[in-house]
Chain A
Amino acid sequence: MPDETLLSARGLSLRFGAIPALIDVDADLWPGEVLAIAGESGSGKSTLLNVLSGRLTPDDGVVWYRDTQAKLQDVHAMPQPALRALHRSDWGFVQQNPRENLRMGVSAGGNVGERLMAQGSRHYGRIRDQAADWLTQVEIDVARIDDLPRTFSGGMLQRLQIARTLVTHPRLVFMDEPTGGLDVSVQARLLDLIRGLVRRLDIAVVLVTHDLAVARLLAHRIMVMQRGRVVESGLTDQVLDDPQHAYTQLLVSSVLQA
Chain B
Amino acid sequence: MTAMLRTTDLGKSFLLHLQGGLRIPVLDHVDISVAAGECVALVGASGAGKSTLLRSLYGNYRADAGAILIQHAGQLIDIAHASPRDIVKVRADTLGYVSQFLRVVPRVAAIDIVAEAARDMPPEAARDRARALLLRLNIPTRLHALPPATFSGGEQQRINLARGFMGSHPILLLDEPTASLDNANRDIVVDMIREAKQCRTAIVGIFHDVAVRDAVADRLYQVTPIQDS
Contact = CB atoms under 8 A, between A and B. Distances in A.
A241 B51 CA distance: 13
B18 A189 contact: no
Contacts of A216: 103
B105 A30 contact: no
B61 interface: yes
Given A1-B89, A188-B105, A192-B107, A238 B18 contact: no
Interface in B34-89: 55, 59-62, 84-85, 87-89
A191 B62 contact: no
Given A188-B107, A192-B107, A245-B17, 8 more contacts: A30-B85, A191-B105, A220-B88, A221-B84, A221-B85, A238-B61, A241-B60, A250-B18
Contacts of A235: 59, 84, 87-88
B85 A238 contact: no
A234 B84 contact: yes
Interface size bracket, B side: 20 to 34
B176 to A, nearest CB: 17
A221 B82 CA distance: 13
Given A1-B85, A220-B85, A253-B18, A242 B105 contact: no
Contacts of A241: 55, 60-61
B184 interface: no
Contacts of B14: 242
Nearest to B89: A1
Contacts, number: 52
The 9 A-B pairs at the shortest CB distance, nearest first, are namely: A246-B17, A188-B106, A235-B84, A242-B61, A188-B107, A192-B105, A221-B84, A249-B17, A220-B88
Contacts of A246: 17-18
B84 A220 contact: yes
A238 B64 CA distance: 13
Interface of B: 14-18, 55, 59-62, 84-85, 87-89, 103, 105-108
A238 B81 CA distance: 13
B122 to A, nearest CB: 13
Contacts of A238: 59-62, 84, 87
Interface residues of A, number: 24
A242 B87 CA distance: 15
A255 B55 CA distance: 21
Nearest to A221: B84
A247 to B, nearest CB: 8
A237 B85 contact: no
Contacts of B62: 234, 238, 242, 244
A241 B18 CA distance: 15
Contact of A249 (B16, B55, B107): B16
Contacts of A189: 107
A33 interface: yes
